[in-house]
Structure 1
Amino acid sequence: MNALEQLGQLSTLVADSGDLDAIRRFKPTDATTNPSLILAAASTDHAATWAREALVASGGNIDRAREKLTVRFGCEILKSVGRYVSTEVDPRASFDTQKTIQAAERIIADYAAAGVGPERVLIKIASTWEGIRAARVLESRGLRCNMTLLFGFAQARQCADAGVTLISPFVGRILDWHVANGLKVESPEQDPGVQSVRRIYRWYKAHGYPTQVMGASFRNTGEILALAGCDLLTIAPKLLDELAADTSTRVEAQLSADQTSEDPREIPDEARFRAELNDDAMATEKLADGIRRFAADQAKLDSWLASLA
């Protein structure tokens, strides 16, 4: 078996893409999207047709048209995956709990109107304090959540306490920050993104949290293989191709459900959460940067929709 096939026996593989052709080719269990991926996919001919249909259905309201277009992509993706598609709420609502809840419920309603039940959708929300509070409410209403832009242990603990379905720690972006700040990484074992996911995974399993961990935002296949055995791994098509072409690597589990953790089972209150996040310069900066980047791409998508109106 190639490395991708071996990895698929240890972790659930998820396509990190809005590229419908790539998703059809790999046939992953799940797929994740975000504003940047939807923006990239908007250049295709069918996207323009769907966008015009969404504009008509929303009466020209750009916000609703964008949500409907995103759901349309999700519906197409679900034709090629066996379980979930993750659909992100507007990142500009990342610090507004109520707006996040309302946006999530509109997205679920749009999926329902297209014949897709909530059991096949993960609402993707930034792991801010407000976003995690929104996820707690949504999960209590039976709506599953995927917490994104997660960079620190403080965020991971709050997400587990909120009972979210899964989290998506950003391995590659953690590495990017440390490299930019002078760290030399010569192997996946030294990769701070890999180390962060391992710490979170072990804490979840050791303390019995059902929230699943999905490693995300990989920079190379070494990071991916260093997390073999993680609950899920969401991988871009380029790296899926590299793993599929690798017939020489023997993939072995690096994580398993019987993990132990040196970190105690304790959940900080809001003040301590904010203090711990503030003390983690990497997590603070990458969370803010990620929200800004996703919001900028969301604004570009809105401008593109407006040009079609």
Structure 2
Amino acid sequence: MKFFIDTANLDQIKEAHDLGILDGVTTNPSLMAKEGIKGHDAIVEHYKKICEMVDGPVSAEVFGTTFEEIVEEGKKLAAIHKNIVVKVPMIKDGIKAIKWFTDNDIQTNCTLVFSAGQAILAAKAGATYVSPFIGRIDDGNWDGVALIEQIVNIYNAQGYMTEVLAASIRTPLHIVKCAEAGADVCTCPLPSILGLLKHPLTDLGLAQFLKDAETMK
């Protein structure tokens, strides 16, 4: 399973990259705004910086909601760098735009997916990635990881090439469960990735090793 970091923060991207396990980055308008990135030129420059830091897919989300807006904006985003993947919302015009991008060799990430039916449409349109938001599904008292497993099973049965990108990851356990469910990719905040490092028995074992090492000096 590939690891993407879900942020626009350059320091966090560098830290994840330096771990040696980072495969890509996902962003959205909310994450850009959180970093104080405003205006077309500033956004483009920020994407360039991210692409220079990570040798892998960088999802850049469109703001438009009509077919024409999505296609026009997506073309400009894709022209920024070869690593850019155009992130398109799961709406009717979004699906139409994904098909256009597919036909024109532009990679896409279909975002805001909450059902297997939506995931089927995204795959039929040729999306490179589909992003089910499992944390938000859990918030509604449903099982987000179960949706990942359902989509993976459908894609395998139908031979769809779209990769399942588990999004809205909230905890390290989400990451493990998505790996078990067969997700191709998970995208998550840095704390969730770092949380995989932690276990109380590791801390206890290391403390004992260090104590024993002192007696050998």
Pick the TM interval, shorter chain. 0.7 to 0.9
Which residue of 26, 30, 34 maps to 2:24? 30
Q: How does 1:14-163 map to 2 (within 5 A)?
A: 14-27=4-17, 28-42=22-36, 66-90=39-63, 93-94=64-65, 96-109=66-79, 111=80, 116-117=81-82, 120-163=83-126
Counterpart secondary structure, 2:140? helix
Q: Per chain length, whose mean CA-contact separation is higher, i.e. which structure has more relative contact order (CA < 8 Å, sep 6+)?
A: 1
Q: Does 1:224 align with 2:175?
A: yes
Which residue of 161, 166, 169 maps to 1:215? 166
Q: Does 1:203 align with 2:154?
A: yes
Alpha-carbon distance between aligned partners in 1 of 2:44 and 2:174, rounded to the nearest angstrom: 31
Once superposed, what is the RMSD of the aligned Cα atoms? 1.7
Alpha-carbon distance between aligned partners in 2 of 1:153 and 1:30, rounded to the nearest angstrom: 24
Greater strand content: 2
Alpha-carbon displacement from aligned partner over 1:12-53 (angstroms, at most 9, x marks no partner)? 0000011110110111110000011101111xxxx5xxx6xx
- Closer/same/farther in 2, CA of residues 105 and 225 from structure 1, 3 Å limit: same
Q: Structure 2: which 5+ runs fail to align?
A: 203-217
Alpha-carbon distance between aligned partners in 2 of 1:199 and 1:68, rounded to the nearest angstrom: 40
- Structure 1 segments of 4 or more deviating over 6 A? none
TM-score (norm 1): 0.60
- Closer/same/farther in 2, CA of residues 85 and 247 from structure 1, 3 Å limit: farther
The number of aligned residues is 196
Which residue of 168, 176, 188 maps to 1:235? 188
- Closer/same/farther in 2, CA of residues 39 and 140 from structure 1, 3 Å limit: same
What's the counterpart of residue 285 of structure 1? none
Alpha-carbon displacement from aligned partner over 1:99-121 (angstroms, at most 9, x marks no partner)? 11111112223x1xxxx23xx11
1:248 shift after superposition: 5.7
Q: Structure 1: which 5+ runs fail to align?
A: 1-10, 52-65, 179-190, 250-309
Counterpart secondary structure, 2:53? coil
Q: Is the CA contact (8 Å cut-off) linking 2:101 and 2:107 kept in structure 1?
A: yes
- Closer/same/farther in 2, CA of residues 22 and 247 from structure 1, 3 Å limit: farther
Q: Is the CA contact (8 Å cut-off) linking 1:147 and 1:167 kept in structure 2?
A: yes
Alpha-carbon distance between aligned partners in 2 of 1:25 and 1:141, rounded to the nearest angstrom: 34
Q: Does 1:192 align with 2:143?
A: yes
Alpha-carbon distance between aligned partners in 2 of 1:126 and 1:69, rounded to the nearest angstrom: 22
1:81 shift after superposition: 1.5
Q: Is the CA contact (8 Å cut-off) linking 2:126 and 2:162 kept in structure 1?
A: yes
1:245 shift after superposition: 2.8
Q: Identity of counterpart residues, as a percentage?
A: 30
Q: Is the CA contact (8 Å cut-off) linking 1:126 and 1:148 kept in structure 2?
A: yes
1:174 shift after superposition: 0.6
Alpha-carbon distance between aligned partners in 1 of 2:200 and 2:86, rounded to the nearest angstrom: 36
